[in-house]
Amino acid sequence: MMIKSLLKDPHGALKNWDPDSVDPCSWSFVSCSPENLVTALEAPSKDLSGLLSPSIGNLTKLETLLLQKNNIIGPIPTEIGKLAKLRTLVLSSNKLHGTIPNSLGCLGSLQYIDLSYNNLSGPIPKTSARTFNIVGNPLISAAEQDCGRTVLKPKVYPYIAGEQQKPQGWQSLTL
């Protein structure tokens, strides 16, 4: 219910999220495991706005979070790094801002991340995800965060046949 409390829902997409209900598995856009633990929250294109609650980190069995094409604002909560089972994270085409939490890089199960078309900034977390889409975030830097450490990415210099000049401190590598 904390997730719903920070979201604005002008069209009533989450109207059956009842605070008196003991079972969120019957709610719209929520999927659960056989043990009645929330494994997916999928509410794309529902015109939701407001903030993504830090209480998202309490859904420790969450595997899929799809909230793309809404109007969610604010930062991505750092608590998202508590979702050890998270495999798919899609928050694209919202109005999120701030840095991408470096805790995303510590999630070993994460396979697909799409944070494109927001207003995110700062370094990119180093992650094992097969797909990491961040296009449309012009303030993203060329540095990587590795579970809390920021590491600058080395510049790549193209090989030009016959050219002997290299930036100072660079060595040739023969393959």
- Break the chain into its structural domains and give their ranges: 2-152
The single-letter DSSP state of residue 154 is P
Distances (CA, A) of 29 to 32, 41, 55, 117: 10, 6, 17, 23
Total length of the chain = 175
Q: What is the pLDDT of residue 119?
A: 96
Distances (CA, A) of 105 to 23, 37, 112: 32, 24, 12
Q: What is the pLDDT of residue 146?
A: 67
Percent with pLDDT over 70 in the chain: 81
pLDDT class for 149, splitting at 50, 70, 90?
Answer: low
- One-letter amino acid at 104 equals L
pTM, two decimal places:
0.81
Q: Does domain 2-152 have CATH number 3.80.10.10?
A: yes
pLDDT class for 84, splitting at 50, 70, 90?
Answer: very high
Q: What is the pLDDT of residue 128?
A: 86
